[in-house]
């Protein structure tokens, strides 16, 4: 009895709908067939090679092409921004999403054991298969053809690339580095629950201000970690305001080399408003790792609340937040 799942076979005609969806017609049909062969077949030599080598190649080709597209599309973006855009675009969650659009789960050739364990719904299996297909297209054609296919498949994601935010795990890591805290720990037992889901527990050791651990679940360990990080930021939302971004108003009359506190002060002086009022609302955490909460009031603008590891840092974060939230009004008055 064959140990290959009977729902998909290696007949090249079976893969014609996949070629139409890509859209790409293979000259060497064997390459596409191999790209769809999951590694669960590797224990048996009777069924030919699996897609692991093509997945390795496709991962590198995809990374290079996405990097080139972003480099040309965003000439003003920094290396750090481009890295964030790329990281989001080649994330396994995006690959799984695009693979589902292509209905790759119908074409993956796997062992019966992998099939019974829910392989066709496994997001990592779908993501890996898409990478293998990209590797196969590259070998069957050339760089430019492969880039055209990726531009087509990733069109929506590339259009929204500049709106992509830093991954939650990166935000938490940056916060810990900025405040000299221990690195976040993501603990995942090897065993899955009855629903075949992994559970991840996220903690920051020796940080009393984060006494509540955060948990997240997912069909893969990576997804469980991602959900744990997302839940952590929902529990401690001030982390994002501390990390923030540097998107101050773009009008040259408002931007300067001065820190945000000085910019806000100069704005109130120019508009003949009362000086900005910074009030310390609270201080939490141990003496060596305090966390201050500051309230900022500027004229008739709504008050702003921000946090920081020092009073000055909290003031700067409050000023940054004020400038971000009111940049249109400020720019209009400073024209």
Q: What digits encode the pLDDT tens for the residues 235-246?
A: 777 776 555 444
Buried b (16+ CB within 10 A) or exposed e, 263-289: bbbebeeeeeeeebebeeeeeeeeeee
Position 138 scores a pLDDT of 96
pLDDT of residue 323: 85
What structural domains and CATH numbers belong to the chain? 12-163 (1.10.1520.10), 168-240 (3.30.160.20), 245-334 (3.30.160.20)
pLDDT score recorded for residue 245: 46
Average confidence (pLDDT) over 298-310: 83
Q: Would you name the residues annotated as active-site residues?
A: 59, 131
Confidence of residue 285 (pLDDT cuts 50, 70, 90): low
- What average pLDDT score do residues 159-179 get? 71
Q: Average per-residue pLDDT in the chain?
A: 79
pLDDT (tens digit per residue) in 132-142: 999 999 999 99
Q: Which two tokens stand for residue 316?
A: 């700067």
Q: If you ran DSSP here, which 8-state letter would residue 119 be given? A: G
Give the mean pLDDT of 51-56.
93
pLDDT of amino acid 307 = 76
Torsion over CA: 218, 221, 227, 232 (sign): positive
pLDDT band (50, 70, 90) for residue 3: very low
pLDDT, average across residues 286-296: 74
**What are the strands, taking DSSP E only, across 49-189?**
185-187
pLDDT at 268: 86
Neighbour tally for 2: CB within 10 Å:
11
pLDDT at residue 218 greater than cutoff 60: yes
pLDDT at 289 over 80: no
3-class DSSP state of 215: strand
Q: What angle do CA 164, 165, 166 make, to 5 degrees?
A: 130
Using the predicted structure, report yes or no on whether residue 305 has a pLDDT greater than 90: no
Over residues 74-125, the pLDDT tens digits come to 887 778 778 878 888 888 888 988 999 999 888 888 877 777 777 677 888 8
Beta strands in 245-300 (DSSP E): 277-284, 291-297
Write down the pTM of the prediction. 0.53
How many other C-beta atoms are found inside a 10 Å radius of the C-beta of residue 181?
Answer: 19
What's phi and psi for 194, nearest 5 deg? -65, -25
What's residue 334's pLDDT? 47
Asked if residue 126 lies in contact with residue 44, where contact means CB atoms within 8 angstroms, the answer is: no
Strands of the sheet containing 304-308, edge to edge, are 277-284, 291-297, 304-308
Classify each residue of 119-146 as buried b or exposed e, where b means 16 or more C-beta atoms within 10 Å of its C-beta: bbebbbbbbbbbbbbbbbbbbbbeeeeb
Residue 153 burial (10 A CB sphere; 0-12, 13-18, 19+): buried
pLDDT for residue 257 is more than 50: no
What's the whole-number mean pLDDT along residues 46-63? 87
């Amino acid at each position: 009895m064959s140990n290959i799942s009977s729902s998909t076979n290696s007949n090249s005609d079976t893969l014609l709908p996949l070629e139409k969806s890509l859209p790409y017609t293979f000259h060497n049909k064997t390459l596409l067939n191999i790209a769809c062969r999951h590694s669960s077949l590797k224990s048996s030599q009777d069924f030919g090679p699996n897609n692991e080598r093509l997945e390795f190649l496709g991962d590198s080709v995809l990374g290079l092409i996405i990097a080139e597209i972003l480099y040309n599309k965003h000439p003003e973006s920094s290396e750090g921004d481009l890295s964030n855009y790329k990281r989001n675009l080649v994330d396994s969650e995006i690959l799984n999403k695009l693979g589902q659009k292509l209905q790759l789960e119908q074409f993956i050739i796997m062992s019966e054991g992998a099939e019974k364990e829910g392989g066709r719904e496994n997001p990592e299996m779908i993501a890996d298969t898409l990478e293998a297909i990209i590797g196969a297209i590259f070998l069957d054609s050339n760089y430019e053809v492969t880039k055209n296919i990726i531009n087509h498949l990733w069109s929506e994601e590339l259009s929204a690339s500049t709106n992509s935010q830093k991954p939650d795990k990166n935000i938490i890591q940056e916060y810990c580095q900025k405040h000299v805290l221990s690195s976040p720990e993501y603990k995942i037992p090897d065993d899955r629950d009855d629903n075949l889901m992994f559970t991840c527990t996220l903690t920051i050791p020796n940080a009393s201000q984060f006494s509540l651990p955060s948990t997240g679940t997912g069909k893969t360990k990576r997804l469980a970690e991602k959900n744990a990080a997302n839940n952590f930021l929902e529990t401690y939302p001030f982390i994002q305001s501390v990390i923030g971004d540097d998107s101050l108003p773009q009008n040259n009359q408002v931007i300067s080399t001065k820190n945000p506190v000085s910019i806000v002060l100069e704005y109130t002086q120019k508009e003949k408003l009362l000086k900005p009022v910074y009030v310390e609302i609270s201080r939490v955490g141990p003496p060596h790792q305090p966390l201050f909460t500051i309230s900022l009031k500027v004229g008739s603008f709504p008050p702003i609340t921000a946090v920081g590891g020092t009073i000055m840092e909290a003031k700067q974060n409050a000023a940054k937040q004020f400038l971000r939230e009111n940049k249109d009004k400020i720019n209009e008055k400073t024209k």
